[in-house]
């Protein structure tokens, strides 16, 4: 079998490339950023992830190649970003289109192109097929299209890549089965072969379902806060019912899936995606709700110095270095809109300076603040709660058991 060319070596593409290579598949990983390729060639992975170092070492042993160049081969997997336009809430397919244009320059007739990037329902028909047709490619003859959306989460990527079920969407059943066999080289989960539009919709529905359930918990939090009820106790008791599983509220929703994918449906189906839109508005409102809570606590404590307030956690979830769309960054953006000073921040997983007033030492951060807002439940802070004694604490994750702690 000729090598597969995996295009885009970010949070999804790199682990996928390493997983294929470590299971005996010949892989060339391509990325447009020369800095990414240089780092990988030097033996350095570009982000932290449990188990990724070992997977990387195994892939290197098996001969994986990294390059800024596309190769001529019979199978391509595209895993580039798919952001959304914040004004009209529609998908921005430009990264995918650019990758496909580069593939068309080198691919042989009959090549299969797999889109792993999360795309809005109908993206293949609206944007992808026209790219090929404009160049005279006959889909199903000159090239074959497949959509195989990823289904993994930062912090547990390596395990989920291997064990989670997958969906393969293809125009042609036999092409879908061929790609299923390829993914079966490492995936032990159930792999379903279906049509492309169903695969597109399924991935977006999965993340939208989660967003709606989080929004219910966050709206319940606001209701309980308005009438001085303990939302955490209410959820604990409600969840004793055998058919109830209310999630925990929090400071917002981040990451590149749950906070983005539902907007695809809102943008494409205005007037129909009503619950989805409401959920998005609720979850997007949570960073401002945290700021309001901070303001009320400072009044109650007669605190007036914002420079002594610090945000613990910049990532969108615990124990990862992924800060895309994180609630903390959304909160800071809201403060800047109100012309308020940026609070001090610290996160053990963020090594580079991504905002102002960012600390890189936990103790130094704590020494310079009186009021700490726990935005992320990293293991570090759960294991060092005693260091917070004497501080005013707003715990947005409900992890702190110290006396006098404030909660959302």
Residue-wise pLDDT tens digits, 172-197: 999 999 999 999 999 999 999 999 99
pTM tops 0.85? yes
Position 86 pLDDT exceeds 80: no
- Strand runs labelled E in 120-209: 143-147, 166-170, 191-194
φ, ψ for residue 113 (rounded to 5)?
A: -115, 115
Does the pLDDT of residue 340 top 80, yes or no? no
Given this model, what pLDDT does residue 304 score? 87
Residue 384 gets which letter from DSSP?
Answer: T
Across 248-252, 273-277, 333-337, least confident range? 333-337
Question: What sign does the dihedral 72-74-79-85 (CA atoms) show?
Answer: positive
CB 359 within 8 A of CB 339: no
DSSP code string of 303-366: ---GGGEEEE--SSSTT----TT-HHHHHHHHHHHTTPPPPEEE-TT--S--STTEES-HHHHH
pLDDT for the residue numbered 44: 93
Give the integer Cα–Cα distance in Å for 146 and 168.
7
Residue 41 catalytic? no
Active-site position among 107, 187, 224, 257: 257
Q: What is the mean pLDDT of residues 371-375?
A: 98
pLDDT tens figures, 375-395: 999 999 999 999 999 999 999
Q: What percent of the chain has pLDDT over 90?
A: 88
What residues pair up with 292 in beta bridges, in sequence order? none
Alpha helices in 187-260 (DSSP H): 196-226, 231-238
- What's residue 1's pLDDT? 63
Candidates 89, 180, 203, 344; catalytic one = 203
Residue 215's pLDDT is: 98
The whole-chain average pLDDT of the chain stands at: 94
203 is catalytic: yes
pLDDT tens digit sequence for 4-43: 999 999 999 999 999 999 999 999 999 999 999 999 999 9
Per-residue pLDDT of 204-252, as tens digits, reads 999 999 999 999 999 999 999 999 999 999 999 999 999 999 999 999 9
Backbone φ and ψ of 72, nearest 5°: -90, 115
pLDDT in tens, 121-146: 999 999 999 999 999 999 999 999 99
Tell me what pLDDT residue 91 has: 86
> Could you tell me the two tokens for 295?
């303001």
Which domains, and CATH codes, for the chain? 4-194 (3.40.50.720), 206-407 (3.40.50.720)
pLDDT at res. 139: 96
């Amino acid at each position: 079998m000729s090598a597969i060319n995996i295009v885009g070596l970010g949070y999804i593409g790199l682990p996928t490339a390493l997983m294929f290579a470590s299971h005996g598949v010949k892989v060339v990983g391509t990325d447009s950023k020369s800095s990414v390729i240089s780092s990988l060639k030097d033996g350095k992975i570009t982000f932290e992830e449990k188990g990724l170092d070992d997977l990387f070492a195994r892939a290197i042993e098996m001969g994986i190649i990294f390059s800024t160049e596309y190769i001529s081969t019979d199978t391509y997997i595209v895993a580039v970003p798919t952001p959304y336009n914040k004004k009209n809430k529609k998908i921005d397919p430009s990264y995918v289109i650019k990758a496909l244009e580069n593939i068309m320059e080198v691919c042989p007739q009959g090549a299969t192109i797999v889109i792993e990037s999360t795309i809005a329902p109908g993206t293949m028909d609206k944007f992808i097929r026209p790219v090929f047709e404009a160049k005279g490619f006959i889909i199903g003859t000159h090239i074959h299209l497949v959509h195989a959306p990823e289904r993994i989460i930062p912090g547990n990527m390596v395990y989920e890549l291997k064990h989670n079920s997958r969906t393969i969407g293809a125009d042609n059943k036999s092409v879908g089965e061929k790609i299923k066999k390829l993914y079966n080289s490492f995936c032990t989960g159930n792999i379903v072969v279906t049509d492309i539009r169903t695969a597109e919709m399924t991935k977006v529905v999965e993340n939208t379902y989660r967003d709606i359930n989080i929004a219910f918990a966050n709206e319940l939090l606001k209701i309980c806060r308005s009438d001085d009820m303990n939302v955490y106790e209410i959820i604990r008791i409600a969840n004793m019912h055998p058919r109830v599983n209310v999630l925990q509220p929090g400071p917002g929703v981040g990451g590149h899936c749950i906070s983005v994918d539902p907007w695809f449906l809102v943008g494409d189906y205005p007037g129909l995606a009503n619950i989805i839109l409401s959920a998005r508005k609720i979850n997007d409102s949570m960073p401002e709700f945290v700021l309001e809570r901070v303001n009320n606590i400072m009044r109650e404590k007669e605190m007036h110095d914002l420079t002594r307030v610090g945000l613990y956690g910049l990532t969108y979830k615990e124990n990862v270095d992924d800060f895309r769309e994180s609630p903390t960054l959304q909160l800071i953006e809201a403060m800047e809109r109100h012309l308020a000073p940026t609070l001090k921040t610290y996160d053990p997983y963020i090594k580079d300076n991504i905002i102002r007033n960012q600390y890189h030492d936990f103790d130094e951060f704590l020494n310079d603040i009186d009021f700490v807002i726990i935005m992320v439940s990293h293991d570090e802070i759960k294991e060092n709660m005693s260091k917070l004694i004497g501080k005013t604490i707003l715990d947005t994750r409900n992890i702190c058991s110290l006396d006098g702690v404030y909660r959302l």
